[in-house]
């Protein structure tokens, strides 16, 4: 086989590259710009509140950018053996970049002056290049230190006195520091074990930092003395930078394979102190790159294997501490055993309320730094001590205090920041209230309280307070009968004021629905267990209109649900339209601008998480969820105020993104591991986009949207699978199927909500008869009927199984099993020739096989299945199949194999006899395994292969003619799909990343 396939580069201008999402291989911060090597593409972002992308261009034809240097108006980039120097903002960004190459791998690149560039090569040699003439660079000299070790990493540091030092990290645990112009080795540092993955000198030339395969960060003085080591990374460290060097301390930045970012400080001890840990900064594996910039703000930017570009400000802690001494200094002395019992914060009004264990109620105006003890009409100090239960309503700028007998005080803040109060006293016989729940309505600004008594026969009481002239007033009281007091203990609720529905959550995922406009007390209209889960922590609105509401339900064990409640001819109905789980404890959530935000506890931290974009925005190390805590949520500003008790002290902190409008997400990327399959729905959504779904080795499925420019925007990340995915595809506009190892085949239902939101939920799953299933479902194909879908599946144990999914009953049943032999079934299709239906398989022995299955699909019993055709097309595995329907009802079948060949065949049914005839054969259609074939329209197909070449073939007249071939930066290229937008063809190629392209 030739080293280079003859059809690896043909009419490359036919294929237009649109967008790319993949590993971020280089990051550089300079002045007001963020420079990012996004594979071979250079992206430049403005450091403003909008993070505007001001430049994006592919610099190298094939190589990825690994080094970036900036001097004046010029930028130098390097990657593998390639480098380029250009001015990105010259003549309105119309930049012609000339890619240069040398004979060695480039480790680092740096300017000595704007016209002079240094390249550090993998043999510890520096090329000094004159770049003053953009059309003809001139090599001035080659410099080495007589130690040509093979380098894994390295950096060039130009000091203010124009001296230049090389920090070289070798593959054999040594760090070599040498002076460029003296050509002398200053130090050979051998404290690490394994290859050196990073080594840097600080801008002052006083210190050196390095990291290696031993997972440690080491700090040296420039004299070569090991000052300190830092341990904490769980795997290899890829990015390392100095944050600041002062007389008092040295701060360092590191990021690596464990997807964590860590900030270290050296204060004279032998161990680096870890100041900050960002442990959910990227998805999957590897933070490949990062950089730090200190100034008015200290920021860092990272790039991961997931394609995300994330920015963060290093801020001083925003946590405030209120101690008993703080209160005493304000003039309110606490008794010896008196402590803070309850607390709440109104962040928008800048008020705090504290209730002590002795019943003192204190209000802190922290904008004015004043404390007061409010007085309430008709309630004495002795009586106020009974109001020990406190709830906070951020949106209504109010607190609710409740006593053990059901009396309620609303303490609000009006528009002029003046306090007012409303007293609602219990007019009934004395009661015992042990629990108070709170809910607010975004529709009319009202607030509600749900009072619960331990007496089983006593109804819950729903109190509602409405807005009137900018203040809250009492509106109504309704009794709600408990469904089963033995198991139903209310933990959260939501009042839908549009439909007068009350949704109440309990422990063990129990749920009840009430209509408040009817009798009092009201009995539940619906009671059910939503899922196998823990306590329902919050219920909040997603959308609501007459006769229907969709609510977000969160559970403490990490489950969240979109629950649809609607009025039907059969009465009130409710069903989950989305159910997913994260590996954290959820205490609440809300929707904002189409994003789902969740908050709760993860280990010893309280977090704020963007579930839509899969990023952690902020967290506070508080010791865990066992502490007494409270949170105030401001959805408008995406701001949480988290308060918690620790050792008699009250700590209050703000949780929000440090970055601004984009929450520090400059590019949203894709999966953190290899994408195994991709599918796009042909029909347009209301917003002009198309639904798409990706399946990955990380065992997740992402649902998103593809637009006409080839841009991808993800909405959901589903993790019902427990093993790496194999296939995913649309059964119809409302259903998806996915398959994986462990005999996993899952059917999903799509629900479209207002504002372009999409909900997806598992509605069917194959039940394996094995206790420990070990088979992989390699592929599936489907055929829709009036009531459901026939689904043919290919198993790794050489069997084909046919299932039927009933849409009304949401039931997936196995109907037939077809044994093939002893090899793996790799691909499967369901073909229809009029009323005749066939299963077609491609197997690892190179055969294309057809079975007649009309009897099974028609419900006949005792059907004998034998192959109609079994014909070997490829020398080994048939890795990709695409059947194309012809005008006469026949099929043109394009196949690709791991023998690198591409074959066109014709399957035709004549007089009840099926025939298969090969019409074209290209032996060396690729230089590596062909992995996918997609319809490129107008008798064309799009073909991908492991050699990272994307080819478009013309298949007219049964022939195969390659009309275009170009390189894709997506490594491990494994899957593809195609669609059209208003006549424009768009293809998607995925593997270790994802690219979109078009063709003429």
| pLDDT tens, residue by residue, 75-87 | 999 999 999 999 9
Residue 662 has pLDDT above 90, yes or no: no
Tell me, what's the pLDDT at 248?
78
> pLDDT > 70: what percent of the chain?
98
Mark out the alpha helices in 221-318 (DSSP H runs).
Answer: none
- Kindly report the average pLDDT of the chain as a whole number: 94
Strands 913-922 and 902-910: antiparallel
Give the Cα separation of 681 and 690 in Å (integer): 6
Q: Extract the tokens encoding 873.
A: 């097309």
The mean pLDDT of 569-589, rounded to a whole number, is 96
What sign for the dihedral angle of Cα 868, 871, 876, 881? negative
Which of 684, 727, 728 is closest to 707 using CA atoms?
684
Which of 209, 219, 194, 195 is closest to 239 using CA atoms?
209
- Name the region of 87 (left: φ>0; alpha: ψ -120 to 50; beta: rest): beta
DSSP label at residue 260? -
Residue 90 has pLDDT above 80, yes or no: no
Convert 493-523 into a string of H (helix), E (strand) and C (coil).
EEEECCCCEEEEEEHHHEEEEEECCCCCCEC
Tell me, what's the pLDDT at 222?
96
Residue 778 has pLDDT above 70, yes or no: yes
803-806 own/partner pairs: CB under 8 Å, 24+ apart: 803/745, 803/766, 805/731, 805/735, 805/747, 805/764
State how far Cα 953 lies from the chain centre.
Answer: 35
The mean pLDDT of 706-729, rounded to a whole number, is 97
Number of CB atoms found within 10 A of residue 395's CB: 17
Strands (E), 114-206: 116-121, 125-130, 138-144, 151-158, 164-170, 175-179, 184-189, 196-201
Residue 104 has pLDDT above 50, yes or no: yes
Residue 2 has pLDDT above 80, yes or no: no
Give the Cα separation of 121 and 53 in Å (integer): 31
> pLDDT of 345-389, one tens digit each?
999 999 999 999 998 999 999 999 999 999 998 888 888 888 999
Give the Cα separation of 890 and 915 in Å (integer): 10
Contact 281, 302 (CB under 8 A): yes
Of the candidate ranges 398-412, 518-532, 596-610, the one whose mean pLDDT is the lowest = 518-532
Q: Give me the residue label for tokens 């420019």.
A: 709
Contact 613, 597 (CB under 8 A): no
Tell me, what's the pLDDT at 134?
83
Q: Extract the tokens encoding 386.
A: 């009974």
Contact 128, 139 (CB under 8 A): yes
- Using CB atoms within 10 Å of the CB of residue 564, give its burial: 0 to 12 exposed, 13 to 18 middle, 19+ buried: buried
Give the Cα separation of 183 and 801 in Å (integer): 70
Of the candidate ranges 385-394, 861-870, 912-921, 970-979, the one whose mean pLDDT is the lowest = 861-870
> pLDDT of 28-65, one tens digit each?
999 999 999 999 999 999 987 789 999 999 999 999 99
Give the Cα separation of 2 and 42 in Å (integer): 33
Q: How confident is the model at residue 135 (pLDDT cuts 50, 70, 90)?
A: confident
Convert 896-940 into a string of H (helix), E (strand) and C (coil).
EECCCCEEEEEEEEECCEEEEEEEEEECCCCCCCEEEEEECCCCE
> pLDDT > 90: what percent of the chain?
87
935-938 own/partner pairs: CB under 8 Å, 24+ apart: 935/882, 935/884, 935/978, 936/978, 936/985, 936/987, 936/999, 937/978, 937/980, 937/985
Which of 438, 575, 574 is closest to 499 using CA atoms?
574
Q: Extract the tokens encoding 676.
A: 């195994």
DSSP 556-573: TTSEEEEEEEEEETTEEE
Residue 337 has pLDDT above 90, yes or no: no
Domain annotation for the chain: domains and CATH numbers: 670-999 (2.130.10.10)
Give the Cα separation of 521 and 460 in Å (integer): 9
Contact 844, 824 (CB under 8 A): yes
Give the Cα separation of 815 and 803 in Å (integer): 5
The mean pLDDT of 441-461, rounded to a whole number, is 93
Q: How confident is the model at residue 247 (pLDDT cuts 50, 70, 90)?
A: confident
Q: How confident is the model at residue 770 (pLDDT cuts 50, 70, 90)?
A: confident
DSSP 843-879: ETTSEEEEEE-HHHHTT-SS----EEEEEE-SSS-EE
CA atoms within 13 A on the CB side of 961: 9
Q: Name residues whose C-beta falls within 8 Å of residue 456's C-beta, 6 or more positions apart in sequence.
A: 482, 485, 486
Contact 212, 233 (CB under 8 A): no
> pLDDT of 157-211, one tens digit each?
999 999 999 999 999 889 999 999 999 999 999 999 999 999 999 999 999 999 9
Contact 633, 347 (CB under 8 A): no
SS3 214: coil
Of the candidate ranges 253-257, 303-307, 313-317, the one whose mean pLDDT is the lowest = 313-317
């Amino acid at each position: 086989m030739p080293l280079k396939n003859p059809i690896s580069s043909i009419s490359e201008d036919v294929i237009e590259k649109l967008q790319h999402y993949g590993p971020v291989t280089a990051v550089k911060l300079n002045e007001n710009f963020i420079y990012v090597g996004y594979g071979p593409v250079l992206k430049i972002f403005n450091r403003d509140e909008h993070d505007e992308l001001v430049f994006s261009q592919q610099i190298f034809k094939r190589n990825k950018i690994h080094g970036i240097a900036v001097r004046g108006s010029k930028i130098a980039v390097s990657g593998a053996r390639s480098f380029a120097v250009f001015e990105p903002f010259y003549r309105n960004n119309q930049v012609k970049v000339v890619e240069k190459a040398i004979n060695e791998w480039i480790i680092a690149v740096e300017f000595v002056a704007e016209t002079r560039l240094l390249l550090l090569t993998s043999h510890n040699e520096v090329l000094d290049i004159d770049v003053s003439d953009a059309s003809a660079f001139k090599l001035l000299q080659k410099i080495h230190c007589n130690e040509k070790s093979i380098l894994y990493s390295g950096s060039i540091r130009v000091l203010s006195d124009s001296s230049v030092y090389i920090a070289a990290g070798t593959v054999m645990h040594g760090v070599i520091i040498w002076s460029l112009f003296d050509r002398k080795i200053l130090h050979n540092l051998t404290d690490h074990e394994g290859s050196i993955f990073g080594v840097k000198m600080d801008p002052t030339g006083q210190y050196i930092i390095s990291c290696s395969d031993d997972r440690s960060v080491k700090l040296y003085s420039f004299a070569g003395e090991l000052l300190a080591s830092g341990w904490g990374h769980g795997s290899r460290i890829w990015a390392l930078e100095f944050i600041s060097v002062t007389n008092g301390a040295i701060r360092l930045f590191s990021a690596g394979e464990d997807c964590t970012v860590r900030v270290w400080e050296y204060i004279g001890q032998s161990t680096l102190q870890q100041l900050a840990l960002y442990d959910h900064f990227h998805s999957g594996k590897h933070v490949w790159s990062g950089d730090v910039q200190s100034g008015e703000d200290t920021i860092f930017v990272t790039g991961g294997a997931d394609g995300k570009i994330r920015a963060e400000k290093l801020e001083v802690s925003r946590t405030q501490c209120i101690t008993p001494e703080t209160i005493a200094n304000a003039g309110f002395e606490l008794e010896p055993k008196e402590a803070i019992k309850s607390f709440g914060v109104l962040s928008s009004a800048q008020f705090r309320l504290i209730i002590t264990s002795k019943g003192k109620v204190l209000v802190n105006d922290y904008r004015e730094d004043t404390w007061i003890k409010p007085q309430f009409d008709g309630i004495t100090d002795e009586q106020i001590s009974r109001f020990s239960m406190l709830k906070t309503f951020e949106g209504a700028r109010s607190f609710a205090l409740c006593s053990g007998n059901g009396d309620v005080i609303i303490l609000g803040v009006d528009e002029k920041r003046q306090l007012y109060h409303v007293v609602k006293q219990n007019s009934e016989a004395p009661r015992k209230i042990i629990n108070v729940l709170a809910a607010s309505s975004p529709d009319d600004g009202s607030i509600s309280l749900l009072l619960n008594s331990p007496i089983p026969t006593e109804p819950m009481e729903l109190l509602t307070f409405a807005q009137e002239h900018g203040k809250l007033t009492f509106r109504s009281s309704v009794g709600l009968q408990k469904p089963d007091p033995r198991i139903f203990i209310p933990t959260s609720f939501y009042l839908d004021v549009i439909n007068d529905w009350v949704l109440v959550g309990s422990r063990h995922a129990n749920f009840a629905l009430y209509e408040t406009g009817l009798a009092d007390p009201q009995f539940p209209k619906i009671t059910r267990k939503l899922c196998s889960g823990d306590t329902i922590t919050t219920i909040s609105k997603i959308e609501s209109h007459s006769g229907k509401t969709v609510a977000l339900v969160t559970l403490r064990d990490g489950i969240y649900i979109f629950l649809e409640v609607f009025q039907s001819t059969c009465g009130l109905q409710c069903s989950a339209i989305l159910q997913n789980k994260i590996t954290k404890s959820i205490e609440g959530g809300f929707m904002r601008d189409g994003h789902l935000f969740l908050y709760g506890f993860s280990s010893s931290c309280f977090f704020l998480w963007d579930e839509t974009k899969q990023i952690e925005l902020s967290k506070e190390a508080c010791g865990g969820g066992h502490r007494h805590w409270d949170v105030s949520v401001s959805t408008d500003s995406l701001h949480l105020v988290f308060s918690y008790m620790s050792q008699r002290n009250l700590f209050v902190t703000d949780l929000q993104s440090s970055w601004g409008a984009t929450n520090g997400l400059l590019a949203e990327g894709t999966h953190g591991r290899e994408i195994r399959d991709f599918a796009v729905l042909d029909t347009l959504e209301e917003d002009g986009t198309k639904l798409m779904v990706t399946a990955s080795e990380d065992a997740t499925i992402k649902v998103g949207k593809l637009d006409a420019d080839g841009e991808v925007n993800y909405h959901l990340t589903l993790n019902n699978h427990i093993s790496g995915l194999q296939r995913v595809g649309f059964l119809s506009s409302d259903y998806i199927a996915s398959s994986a190892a462990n005999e996993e085949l899952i059917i999903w239902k799509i629900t479209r909500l207002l504002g372009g939101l999409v909900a997806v939920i598992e509605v069917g799953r194959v039940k394996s008869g094995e206790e420990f299933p070990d088979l992989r479902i390699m592929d599936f194909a489907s055929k829709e009927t009036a009531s459901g879908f026939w689904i043919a599946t290919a198993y790794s144990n050489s069997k084909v199984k046919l299932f039927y999914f009933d849409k009304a009953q949401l039931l997936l049943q196995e109907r037939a099993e077809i044994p093939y032999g002893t090899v793996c079934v790799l691909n499967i299709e369901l073909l229809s020739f009029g009323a005749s239906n066939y299963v077609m398989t491609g197997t690892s022995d190179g055969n294309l096989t057809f079975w007649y299955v009309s009897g099974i699909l028609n419900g006949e019993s005792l059907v004998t299945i034998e192959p109609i055709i079994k014909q070997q097309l490829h020398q080994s595995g048939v890795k990709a199949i695409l059947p194309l329907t012809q005008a006469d009802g026949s099929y043109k079948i394009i196949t690709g194999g791991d023998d690198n060949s591409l074959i066109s065949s014709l399957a035709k049914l004549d007089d009840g006899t099926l025939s298969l005839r090969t019409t074209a054969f290209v032996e060396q259609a690729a230089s590596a395994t062909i992995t996918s074939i997609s319809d490129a329209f107008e008798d064309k197909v799009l073909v991908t292969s492991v050699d990272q070449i994307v080819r478009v073939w013309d298949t007219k007249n049964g022939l195969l003619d390659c009309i275009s071939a170009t390189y894709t930066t997506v490594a491990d290229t494994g899957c593809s799909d195609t669609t059209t937008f208003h006549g424009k063809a768009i293809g998607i190629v995925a593997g270790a990343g994802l690219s979109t392209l078009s063709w003429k």
